[in-house]
Structure 1
């Protein structure tokens, strides 16, 4: 099984990198794990709606370049469906059982994801209505993916 996270922008904070590296190391016994960083589009603090759409479109194009046809895609979106850790684990298990061995998660930039990326996604997932920095979201998502594998393995990690 291959798990990939596509994130907009570079991960700068050392402590986020260290946390992700730790979970990536733990995940290596369950899957091939990869993080792909696509460049964020430089933009001024205040943007018109048209400028926001342009930024999102450019970032969306960069994201879509890294998604293959066979990949099952989760888009992280505030309006996505929330899941419990147990439901998420079951979903991952069922995907791998029914032929989806390449799973990709997409985390947008500060403006979110373009409609083209959301359309390509097989499902949208939400971690609640909070807005989280996309760097932190990478760490949270990586931990939840690890947690899903541990739940599926019957490990007490989840308790």
Structure 2
């Protein structure tokens, strides 16, 4: 599986910047990962062309880690792009092109925090796949 994360704007908050770097490094041990930053939401879809599109959206489907892991395992061998909107969220055109609308929480998350939570969850899913003991249900 090849992973791509496309986010509107680079993280500016120090905790988010450091966390993104940390989890990107960890993920790289388990799967190829690209993180791309675009200036505006209109740049999300072009960067996800040819990939299964998972759009982070507070109105999307909520999964437990085990449920998301089952979905994730179904994507083996595919290219999957996770799209993270900016402070204004996603335009309707991005939502309409999603293969999956995914909510990370029923709470509204600041977009830099959402990016960090996404990367931690991707790391968690990859370590589950590898049989690593990181995830403790």
Normalised to the residue count of structure 1, the TM-score between the two structures is: 0.80
CA apart distance, 1:64: 1.5
Q: What's 1:25 paired with?
A: 25
CA apart distance, 1:116: 0.9
Aligned-partner Cα distance in 2 for 1:112–1:20:
19
Q: What's 1:37 paired with?
A: 37
CA apart distance, 1:28: 1.2
Aligned length: 136
Normalised to the residue count of structure 2, the TM-score between the two structures is: 0.92
More helix, by proportion = 1
Aligned-partner Cα distance in 2 for 1:22–1:89:
21
Aligned-partner Cα distance in 2 for 1:86–1:131:
22
Taking the TM superposition and a 5 Å limit, the aligned residue runs for 1:7-156 are 7-40=7-40, 59=41, 61-68=42-49, 70-96=50-76, 99=77, 101-156=78-133
Aligned-partner Cα distance in 2 for 1:20–1:121:
23
Does structure 2 conserve the Cα–Cα contact (< 8 Å) formed by 1:86 and 1:151? no
> Which consecutive residues of structure 2, in runs of 5 or more, have no partner in the other structure?
none
Alignment deviations for residues 15-48 of structure 1 (CA, whole Å, 9 cap, x no partner): 21211111111111221111111114xxxxxxxx
Aligned-partner Cα distance in 2 for 1:73–1:65:
11
CA apart distance, 1:141: 0.3
* Stretches (4+) displaced over 2 A: none
Alignment deviations for residues 96-143 of structure 1 (CA, whole Å, 9 cap, x no partner): 1xx4x2110111112211111111110101112211110111110000
Bigger Rg over Cα:
1
SS of aligned partner of 1:11: coil
Does structure 2 conserve the Cα–Cα contact (< 8 Å) formed by 1:90 and 1:152? no
RMSD between superposed Cα atoms in Å: 1.3
SS of aligned partner of 1:95: coil
> Which consecutive residues of structure 1, in runs of 5 or more, have no partner in the other structure?
41-58
